[in-house]
Amino acid sequence: MATRILLVISVGLLASCDYLESYLADDKVVSQENANLRYSDYQQVVVEARNIRVAVEAAGEVEPVTTVEVKSKASGEILELAVDTGDVVESGTLLAQIDQRVLKNTLKQAEASLTVAKARLANSSSQLERINSLYVNKSVSKADWEKSSLDHATAQSEVVQREIAVENAVIQLGDCDVNAPITGTIIERAVEQGTVISSPMGNSSGGTLLLKMADLSRVQVRMLVNEIDIGKMKPGVSATVNVAAYANRPFQGEVIKVEPQATTVQNVTMFPVLIDLENREGLLRPGMNADVDVVVANRNQVLAIPNAALRTQGDVYSGASVLGYTMEDVDKMLAASPKPGKRDVAGGGGSAASTGESDLSDEERLKAIMTKMRSGTRPNEEDVAFMRKNRELMQKIAGSGAGRGRPGGSSPSASDGRPANVGPRGPGGQLPKRAVSSVDQQFGGDYIVFVIRNGEAVAVHVQTGITDMDYSEVVAGLNQGEKVLILPSQSLVQSNETWQNRASRMSPIPGMGRGRRS
């Protein structure tokens, strides 16, 4: 018997809940229509999903990653210059040949001196051997023995010096052939055949530059980024490079370095940023002007609203004034709307179901709510949360009874004005907490928007993510399908008030301005 009574009560509760849902849905439609009429003077924008892409655009110049200046260690006249600009050469390839005649003569002279030194060493060795035998027999003095030993050591030292001189002459003779230090392209040719050059070895001027080589299989773009955007630049961020020579062919690269030292260009502080690019086809050449598009952040199908709808704490009151709200009204709205991240999304606490009251007290409260609705009084938020919670509870008890036909007890269209496709609801009929977008710290912030809820424009806190200067990602605070108002800016409101005050002082008749100007 007790089970039958419980089922009857459950069916009654579910029927009452259905009636409440229908009542609230109809009332919501009327409230929305009234809101559209009341706020028709201001643009209403629906919170909807869209793609937001944030990029930093800057101009730069293509330059090689590796550049080598080719100089000759040998001095003299250039007899042969085998390469020209644009030639691609392998490492070790002969580039230029210097006159070898002087160096060949130096080598011959060093070899002759070495021969003499070796003969002196042989003579000194024989002399020292005789002196040693005589010194043992005490036939010569100790001074003669010491002098012979010193002459032998001097002869040995001279041989070593002459050997080094020969080796250096061979090296200098080999330096007359200038070979490519790397595999790359000749990008500059500073001398011509017949030019007399100087060696950088021991020369304070640094010697004569012959050629410049660069490895163009990999290049980089050095672009200047404004200090406002430099905080968004990080190594590894992808970039797209466009050059005028290949207008329809973008080149993909990535940021490899952000220079720490700033430079000033026309009184603007800029930081050099290097973009690494592959150039195996050799299409990109040093000195080309490039337009770089660095993708800082990219979000697909995220909730977004126009930036014009965002207001800060400083200008929220000017927006509220055009709606007829006072500062106290706005403060109450914001107090009832905690900043995102601090609100409780677990459910509508405080209802009879959450306090553990009996089913009988729930039924009595349900009857009280229905009586209130029949008298024309609108149920408050706690009553609505209580009805929804008990509805879910009764569906679990009734099993396949009254709850069948609507899985989870949810209505086809949400009674709180939100679209039905925004996802499953949690306890208390609230939407589950939205996952926060993984944005960097330099993006987003806390703002205030005026959103239409229950037919009234209310100020609520929102947290934004990335922005493309037109739209901002909504991380928390709003739901899909809600409408936000775009109100006049603070400067426009102040200008309008100033004009009205001036017109009222000039006009002797209310509403008429003296000396009206077109």
Measured between alpha carbons, how far is 20 from 13 in angstroms, rounded to an integer? 10
Q: What is the pLDDT of residue 417?
A: 35
CB atoms within 10 A of CB 419: 14
Give the pLDDT band (50/70/90) at residue 427: very low
105-119, 411-425, 431-445 — which one is most confidently predicted on average? 105-119
DSSP string, 380-441: -HHHHHHHHHHHHHHHHHHTTSTTTTSGGG--SS-TTS--TTS----GGGPPPPPPPP---T
Per-residue model confidence as pLDDT tens digits over 91-109? 999 999 999 888 889 899 9
508 sits in the region (left: phi over 0; alpha: psi -120 to 50; else beta) called alpha
DSSP state of 513: -
452 forms beta bridges with 457
Q: Measure the CA dihedral 203/206/207/211, to 10°.
A: 160
Query: What is the percentage of the chain residues whose pLDDT exceeds 70?
Result: 67
Whether residue 259 contacts residue 273, with contact meaning beta carbons closer than 8 Å, is answered with yes
Q: What is the mean pLDDT of residues 214-229?
A: 90
Between residues 349 and 125, which one has the greater pLDDT?
Answer: 125
Confidence bin at 496 (pLDDT 50/70/90):
low
Confidence class of residue 341 from pLDDT cuts 50, 70 and 90? Answer: low
pLDDT > 70? residue 144? yes
pLDDT of residue 32: 53
pLDDT value at position 491?
53
Domain boundaries, the chain: 1-38+346-431, 67-208, 211-301, 491-518
Looking at per-residue pLDDT, the higher value among 285 and 398 belongs to 285
d(CA 212, CA 43): 63
Position with higher pLDDT, 404 vs 151: 151
Return the pLDDT at 377. Answer: 63
pLDDT for residue 190 is more than 60:
yes
Mean pLDDT of the chain: 75
pLDDT computed for residue 25 by the predictor: 54
Local confidence band at 251 (pLDDT 50, 70, 90 cut-offs): very high
State residue 244's pLDDT score: 92
DSSP assignment letter at 201: T
Distance (Å, whole) CA 367 – CA 362: 9
More confident position, 64 or 376:
64
Q: State the average pLDDT over residues 444-450.
A: 85
Please state the rounded mean pLDDT for residues 218-222: 93
The whole-number average pLDDT for the span 313-341 is 80
> Would you say residue 275 has pLDDT above 60?
yes
Q: Please identify which residue in the block is written with the tokens 């050799």.
A: 282
- In this prediction the pTM is 0.53
pLDDT at 457: 85
What pLDDT, on the 0 to 100 scale, is given for residue 400?
39
Q: What is the mean predicted confidence (pLDDT) over 370-395? A: 65
Q: At residue 11, does pLDDT exceed 70? A: no
Specify the range with the lowest mean pLDDT, choosing from 3-17, 48-62, 69-83, 392-406: 392-406
How far is residue 83's CA from residue 175's CA, in Å, rounded to a whole number? 17
Q: Which CATH number fits domain 211-301: 3.40.50.11540, 3.30.70.380, 2.40.30.170, 3.40.50.1370?
A: 2.40.30.170
Of 265 and 343, the one with more pLDDT = 265
Model confidence band, residue 349 (pLDDT cutoffs 50, 70, 90): very low
Rg (CA), the chain: 45
Task: Specify the pLDDT at position 205.
Answer: 76
Residue 160 pLDDT > 90: yes
The mean pLDDT of 101-119, rounded to a whole number, is 91
> How many CB atoms are closer than 10 A to CB 388?
26
pLDDT of residue 250: 92
Residue that wins the pLDDT comparison between 509 and 474: 474
Rounded CA gap, 17 and 14, in Å?
5
Q: What is the pLDDT of residue 21?
A: 57
Q: Which DSSP string corresponds to 306-364?
A: EGGG-B-TTTHHHHHHHTT--HHHHHHHHHTSPPTTSS--S--TTSTTTTT--HHHHHH
Task: Please give the class, per CATH, of domain 67-208.
Answer: mainly beta
What is residue 186's predicted lDDT score, i.e. its pLDDT?
92
